[in-house]
Structures are given as C-alpha cells and as structure tokens.
Amino acid sequence: MSAHPDRTSIESPFPLPRRSPSFVDVARDRLGWRPELDQEWLGLLVSLYLTIACNGAFWRAFAASTDPFTAKGWLTAGSLFVAITGLQWLLLMVVQMRWSAKAILAVAIAVSAAAAFYMDRYTVYMNPEMLRNILHTEPKESAELLTAGLWLHLSVFAGLPIAALWRVRIVRLPWRRAVVRRAAALGIALTVTVAAGTIGLGYRRADAQPEGTALPDHAG
C-alpha cells in the first residue's frame, strides 16, 4: 500500500470555475422548448394569423373604398378586424376537437393561404359559385394552376405557421372544465363578433350613403 495519498481523491479547497454554456447548449435548450396552450387560445392565435396574412385582398379593397387615415376609418377597420377574427375563431372552435385540433388548424391555414394566393393573383373572391367551378375543373386545368409561385407562397404562408403550430403542446383539461371553457369562449366569440360586425358594417353603410340623401324638411 502506497504511503502517499491518492491525488485524485483530494478535493481542492478552491472551487473550480463553472463552464459557461456554449452556443450549442443554449440553442439545444431553446429548440427543445415548446409552448403550452389550450385549444381556445391556439384557435384564437390562428384566427389572428388568418385575418392578417390571408385577407390581403379584402384589406386592400377596404383601403381603396374609404379613407383609412381618419378616425372613422380606423374605427371601421378595427371593428371589421375584430369581427373577422371573431367569426373565424368561432367557426374553428365549433369543429375543433381535442384529438384533432392541430390537424384542423393546419388544414385551415393551408386552405386559407392557397385561397389568398389565388385572390391576390387573379383578383377573384372565394364564394360558393367559385368553389363549384373549382370542383368541376378538369385535371389538366387544375394542374396548370399548381405553379411554382403557389408552392413558394404555401411554403412561407402555410409551411412556417404549421411548423410553429406543431411545436405547441395542447394543454389537456378534465372534460368538465374543458366543456365550461369551450362554452365560455364560444359565448365571448359570438358576442364580440356580433358587436364588432354591427359597428363596422354600420360605419360602412354610413360611408356608402350619398351626402344628399337626407330627408327633406317639410316644416315649411
């Protein structure tokens, strides 16, 4: 047995400096982080995204038909923004289910991004008649519409938000609490949508009314 103590077993009286995390460590921690949201908040965020990113044709038409730099213009735009977002949120919550929420939201983003591309490119609006024409389009004509511009548009305006959507962890709630939360969110969405839509459409009708349409004064 050696008379000299094992040097590896002797602890230093001075603490060793701790190694600062490297860029790779920080990046690994950041990439591993996943936000947690319930279905209602997630649906609201997707609705906000659709209103901003997939309704460019509507907002350009609105800006061309009114003066957006007045107080009335800002109020009308804000009311329509809230109404459109609330209506989309309401519809998404109606079809969202606990096990299919991400899939439904991803389909909504992809379809809205594709519709926005065609509305911007061909200046068309997606109404029932247009949807019927699309369904009756021949395969050859449909293939001609699948351009490189469409795929680039979808990769940015659908691929990136869907990738971010898939990073979110959906909070699982007990079914009774989930039902109460969903009912409250539906009530809020419906109330806000009706109120904002009434205000926005009221101002739009007032702007569309000619200045000389006031009732004549028959007092004389």
CB 46 within 8 A of CB 105: yes
Ranges of the chain whose pLDDT falls below 50: 8, 210-220
CB 43 within 8 A of CB 93: yes
pLDDT at 13: 58
> In angstroms, rounded to a whole number, what is the distance separating the alpha carbons of residues 151 and 194?
36
pLDDT at 204: 64
Residue 75, token pair as written in the block: 């109020």
CB 105 within 8 A of CB 43: yes
DSSP 173: -
Task: Please say whether the dihedral angle defined by the alpha carbons of residues 56, 58, 59 and 64, taken in this order, is positive or negative.
Answer: positive
pLDDT at 213: 38
pLDDT at 60: 87
Domain locations along the chain: 35-207
pLDDT at 21: 63
